[in-house]
Structures are given as structure tokens and as C-alpha cells.
Structure 1
Amino acid sequence: MFVNNHIKKHHALVAYGGYLEVRNIYKGSSHFNSQAEEERNIHLGVDLWCGDETPILTPLDGVVHSFKNNTNYGDYGPTIILTHNISGVAFYTLYGHLSLASINKLKVGKEFKKGEQIATLGDTSVNGDYPPHLHFQIIKDIQDYNGDYPGVCSENDLGFYKGNCPDPSLLLKL
């Protein structure tokens, strides 16, 4: 696979894919593209490509808002969304492509401290048929979503999503 070869070639532990990248990989999934809507191919998070079972830590104190196993082809698979509050401003972070064990005993309202492990990465069989990686996204207004939120949008919807989903590298210091 391209990502694994790239990591190996550069003697790295992690590779990352960027915010607002246009990606053709979503064309193969009806979950992202139907004849009734414009193509969704603009990535709204950051992907960190590394091995399955890699521990995932929260960059901030947070509380579990929701979680779900999103099983559509090309979807997140197991996903956790945390609520954060900084100086009275609430927002959310989404962690997608996790292991099933990450959500098996999880409870809404569980608190995590900055730097605490919240999950592990899943393998290809549970994370939407992708090589192991974390999809990390910031969301200002979660709307009515629970355990899921669009991680890819169309060009027509980019203005809204760019405003609602700021660049997550701000928290990751990439």
C-alpha cells in the first residue's frame, strides 16, 4: 500500500494527510457519493497513518459526547466524539477508524484528561476498509449528530464545513 511504503521509505512512524485535501479515494463508496448529490471529496480532518492498535490520546480534557460503529463501506468504523470546554467555549473532537474494543465498554459522559488514552486504532476489517489511521476532526456545532459527523464534504458545502470544522492541526501542532 502507498501509505505503508511512504512511511517505510522515509523511516517514519507516522504519515499524515491534510485538512481540506481533495481526495479521489471516496469515489468508490456510495456512502460519499450518490447520484442525488454533488461529489463529496474534500477532507475535513487530519489523518494520521500508523499501525493498528496504536494508542490514541486526547489533546485536551474532554467528556464523551457520543460513540458509534459507523459500518458503511468507506466510513469511520468505530468512532468517538468528545466535548471540550475552554473558557466557556464548547466544541467537539472526532476520532474515527478506531478498534471495536475502544467503544465496547465506553459510556456517554465518561471524562478523559489531556494526554489520557481514549482508544486504539482499528485494523482494515473494522475501519471502513482503509489501512490503519486516525481521522481527527474539530467540530464547533455538532448539530444533531451522535457518534458520527461528516468528515468529507462537497465543494458546494465547503464554506459551511470550513467554518464549522476548523483546521485540526491547530491542536496537533503539525
Structure 2
Amino acid sequence: MIPDQPDLYAALRQSGVAPQDLPQLLASAAPQVAQRLAPIDKGLLAAILRAGAGGPAIPQAAEIIAYLRRTPPTPLFHPDPASARLLALPTTGQHPDMPAFSDPAFDPWFAACHVDYGIGLYGENRTVYATPQFADTASPERRTIHLGIDVFAPAGTPVFAPYAGRVHVLAYNADPLDYGHTLILEHRAGDVPFFTLYGHLGGSLPRLLSSGATVRAGQHIADLGDWPENGGWAPHLHFQIITDMLEQTGGNFFGVGHASLWDIWQDISPDPNLILHLPDSAIPR
């Protein structure tokens, strides 16, 4: 029995329940607990139970990460950000004069930096997400930890596929400060599928790709979107690796996670620098 406490994620992790017993756990939960857990992604709940039992949250994550470490990708941009002029863009005060990414004043500020790309950080705790939009019924904690790497560049900059695969999802997420035009590709690490997500794209996306289409490594797959087609942000790419789509079937996969579940979210969406290969100077820890 799961106690009706404020943080049900912590209660699940501590419950000792096996992930295969999740349906029975939900069916036998007290009504108020069942009601709070009902809207939560069941794949995420199963991952929490696996971690609570001492196993990997996502069983295939280690195999996918090993594949990415040994398999060179095609660069996502030309020139390749790995060897270009970069500026790390942490949101925790290192650039006191930097406007918010959702402020149109960011564009002239960034242009004046005279770099090829700006880099928004993976694993960064971003206070912009501490709003009801990033809350859920299982916990009072907001999802504030960034699960992707942001690459800032001018609107219209082409994006290229890092690996061969197929189009898993094409979507337009229209809510303010959402992904805007969004693409998810499915790839293979041997027999194991994994996914890459591209958010904040331009309106050219539906003309470049169609659902289920085959994609080759290095193919032009998208362009960076401008305001407001990209969700209302300065032009950039939100790039994310996904080892398990959980129960998400649309194009609005979690782009931020809970700090208290960071070990689990790292299994679900490992560091995108496994593909981008950015230098340490661009990704301060």
C-alpha cells in the first residue's frame, strides 16, 4: 500500500514493489492515491519502481549509451559545433546582462557575442520552469531540470540527422513556451531502438519530412524556427536523446525532469553530448 504523502514518487521508490506489479499496486491503492497517480505516465512510474528495487530505471539505457560512445555521428549543423566558436549560456547568472531566452531582446544580445553557436546546458536547474505548467498531481515538485542541450543559431539554420533512422513523430506543440514544431526520429543501436528529439523548429518541417519516412545520416531534416513558430523562444534547437518513450505517443515528450528523480531521468534522456561532442568549455559543470 502506498501512503498518501505529498511526494508519491518518493513513496513509490521506497515501496519495494516490483515494476511488473504496478497495475496491481494502482488497483489496490487508496482512492486519493489512485486519483493522484492516474494522470502520471505509467512508464515513468515503472522506471521509478525499477530504480527503487536497485536496478536500472531503463534496462536498455546502458546498451544505447555504449552504442553512442562507439558510433561516430554526423554533425547536426554545418559548421560542426564541436569545432566552432561557442558560448555557454547558463541561466544562473554567469552573464548578468543576458536577456531570457523567451525575451526578444536576446536576439541582438546574442548577435553581439560574435560566436557561431550558443549552448544551453543539459542538467541545468532552470527557474523558468517553476510554474504550474511543469507540475503534476504526484508531487509538489516542479520539473525544472533541463533534459536536452540547446543550440542557439540564427532562424533558418539547417539541422541534419546524426544517424540513419525513420520519422517517429512530426508535431506542432502550440502552447506558449512549448516546443513549437517538433520532430522525433527513431534509430537503432543494434536491435534496440532509441530516439532523438528536435524542438523549436521552423515551419519548413512538414515540407521536409513525413511521418514514417526513412532518414539517412546527414540528411537535412529541419531548420531552426523563428518567433513565434518555435514556441516563442529565441531561435535555437532543443536536442534530446530518449532511450524509452515511456507511454508518450505524441510529440510533446518531457523536456525537463524532477531534480529528485535525476538519476532516473538520466537513464531516460542521457547527456546529448554523447552525440554533439562539444568541448568541455561549452558545457561547464
* TM-score, normalised via structure 1 length: 0.89
Separation of aligned partners in 1, 2:125 and 2:216 = 33
| 1:40 pairs with 2:143 | yes
| 1:31 pairs with 2:133 | yes
| 1:137 pairs with 2:240 | yes
User: For the Cα contact (< 8 Å) 2:148–2:272, is it kept in 1?
Assistant: yes
Percent of pairs identical after alignment? 38
1:151 — aligned with what?
255
Separation of aligned partners in 2, 1:142 and 1:99 = 24
Q: Tell me the amino acid that sits aligned with residue 109 of structure 1.
A: G
2:187 — aligned with what?
84
Separation of aligned partners in 1, 2:173 and 2:140 = 20
2:220 — aligned with what?
117
What's the CA shift for 1:6?
Answer: 4.4
Is 63-72 or 29-38 further displaced after alignment? 29-38
What 5-or-longer segments of structure 1 have no aligned partner?
none
1:126 — aligned with what?
229
What's the CA shift for 1:136?
Answer: 0.3
RMSD: 2.0
User: For the Cα contact (< 8 Å) 1:78–1:99, is it kept in 2?
Assistant: yes
What 5-or-longer segments of structure 2 have no aligned partner?
1-97, 100-105, 279-285
Q: Tell me the amino acid that sits aligned with residue 63 of structure 1.
A: R
SS across alignment from 2:133: coil
SS across alignment from 1:64: strand
Separation of aligned partners in 1, 2:261 and 2:140 = 11
Query: Using CA pairs below 8 Å that are at least 6 residues apart, which structure has the higher relative contact order?
Result: 1
SS across alignment from 1:170: helix
SS across alignment from 2:229: coil
What's the CA shift for 1:115?
Answer: 1.0
Q: Which has the higher strand share?
A: 1
Bigger Cα Rg? 2
The counterpart of 2:119, out of the listed 16, 34, 50, is 16
Q: Tell me the amino acid that sits aligned with residue 119 of structure 1.
A: A
What's the CA shift for 1:105?
Answer: 6.4
User: For the Cα contact (< 8 Å) 1:7–1:13, is it kept in 2?
Assistant: no
Any idea what the Cα deviations from partners look like across 1:6-55, whole Å, max 9, x if unmatched? Answer: 4532x21111111101112224x542246874122110000001111110
Separation of aligned partners in 2, 1:105 and 1:13 = 24
What's the CA shift for 1:126?
Answer: 1.6
Separation of aligned partners in 2, 1:72 and 1:148 = 11
Aligned residue pairs total 172
User: For the Cα contact (< 8 Å) 1:44–1:137, is it kept in 2?
Assistant: yes
Separation of aligned partners in 2, 1:130 and 1:34 = 24
| 1:169 pairs with 2:277 | no
User: For the Cα contact (< 8 Å) 2:209–2:221, is it kept in 1?
Assistant: no
